[in-house]
Amino acid sequence: MKVDYHLHLEEGPYSLRWLNRTNIALNHFDSIHEKQHTREWLNKSMERLMLRIQKGAYDPSWIDLYLQEAKRKGLSEVGIVDHLYRFKETRSYFEKYLDLSSSEIGMKQQIWLDQVMTESMEDFVKAINEAKQRWAAEGVTLRLGIEADYFPDSDEELKDLLSCYEWDYVIGSVHYMYGWGFDNPDTQEKFHQYHLEELYHDFFQVIEKAIRSKIFHFVAHLDNLKVFNYRPDESLLLSHYEKIAKALVETNTATEINAGLFYRYPVKEMCPSPQFLDILIKEGVTFTTSSDSHFPDDIGSYVDENTKTLLKKGITEIATFEKRNRIMKTLG
Ligand SMILES: [Zn+2]
Ligand SMILES: [Zn+2]
């Protein structure tokens, strides 16, 4: 079977770029007949976008576009996992661990947090649980997950935040180093402040801590620090790769092949990198496959390619998740 266990619903910042991307997604499913860039075309587009925004992030009509595309791409199981920082309930957690100081980066991050933290966890859980039945009737299994940012020593607070709902699985992610969101294009100049080898050393330590916290059913995009192409020679990273592989095996934690950086970021490479993937496979790590899509037309992106890669390397089973249990299913 083919699965996509890592995708997101609507997410800010709500820029005009976001509006344009939303329009592209809507058009993918129902293209406007008026000639492009005419006044009539713009009127129709604006009407439709207005409706989309009014209905909100968790409207069934938006969630079911993901279903429509999942069916078209032959996905059997899908996991939706909004980011923890989307939810107002988590504000104090992010205020504690992010740099929101009056420094330039701190101010940018404060603005960003206010732009993206707009929803409630309860609404998200309710919307996905209701969608499960609709999806099952169409032959696609939908799972409820969440992508949780891990910070060193945030274990207890994170467990508390996650304890209120019956997740099918929890993804652990590292998107921040020393309180800095390194995958935000607006703050990427900060890479120049660091010695890359040291930065990667510290990063993999946080990843290892996340794995060993045993909070997560899988740990996502294990080498996403490469997002903007700041990476030392990979031969210097192999010992880190080995350490991460061992931690995953010892804690029986899975990971993913995630296509997000491949089709949406400058590095244009899957996570993990080919060398990292080989080490993980050699050590016997368990995988799932992910598009890390943020729009319904991107669901399942590169899942076929990554499924083939795993099969070629001798992997025959894929990790799926239900009620916090990992269930291995036949791949392909
Ligand atoms: Zn992520
Ligand atoms: Zn994600």
CA Rg value for the chain:
20
The pLDDT assigned to 192 comes to 96
Q: Do residues 11 and 298 make contact, with C-beta atoms less than 8 angstroms apart?
A: no
β 180-181/254-258 pair status = unpaired
Ligand nearest the Cα of residue 174 is: 1
| CA 12 / ligand 1 centre spacing (Å) | 14
Cα of 184 from ligand 1 centre, angstroms: 11
Report how far ligand 2's centroid is from the alpha carbon of 298 (Å).
13
215-228 tens-digit pLDDT:
999 999 999 999 99
C-alpha to C-alpha distance for 67 and 69, rounded to whole angstroms: 5
Give me ligand 1 centre to Cα 166, in Å. 21
What is the number of the ligand closest to the CA of 172?
1
Q: Whole-prediction pTM value?
A: 0.96
DSSP state of 332: -
Number of neighbouring beta carbons within 10 Å of residue 153: 11
Question: Contact, 287 vs 249, CB < 8 A?
Answer: no
Q: In angstroms, what is the span from residue 216 Cα to ligand 1's centroid?
A: 13
Q: What is the CATH number of domain 3-11+71-330?
A: 3.20.20.140
pLDDT > 70: what percent of the chain? 100
The number of the ligand nearest the C-alpha atom of 210 reads 1
pLDDT bucket at 139, cuts 50 / 70 / 90: very high
Q: Could you tell me the distance, in angstroms and rounded to a whole number, from the CA of residue 8 to the centre of ligand 2?
A: 7
List Cβ neighbours of 104 (8 Å cut-off, separation of 6 or more): none
Q: Which ligand is nearest to the CA of 149?
A: 1
Q: Which ligand has the nearest atom to the CA of 293?
A: 2
Q: Output the pLDDT for position 332.
A: 87
Question: Mind listing the pLDDT tens digit for each residue in 56-76?
Answer: 999 999 999 999 999 999 999
Ligand (nearest to CA of 150): 1
Distance 175 CA to ligand 2 centre (A): 10
Q: Percent helix, strand, coil in the chain (nearest 5)?
A: 50, 15, 35
pLDDT at 25: 98
DSSP 86: G
172 has pLDDT over 90: yes
For residues 198-220, give the mean pLDDT.
98
Alpha-carbon span 277 to 270, nearest angstrom: 10
Q: Determine the distance separating the centroid of ligand 1 and the alpha carbon of 295, expressed in angstroms.
A: 14
64 alpha carbon – ligand 1 mean position (Å): 22
Residues 310 and 257 sit within 8 Å (Cβ to Cβ): yes
Q: pLDDT for 101-123, tens place per residue?
A: 999 999 999 999 999 999 999 99
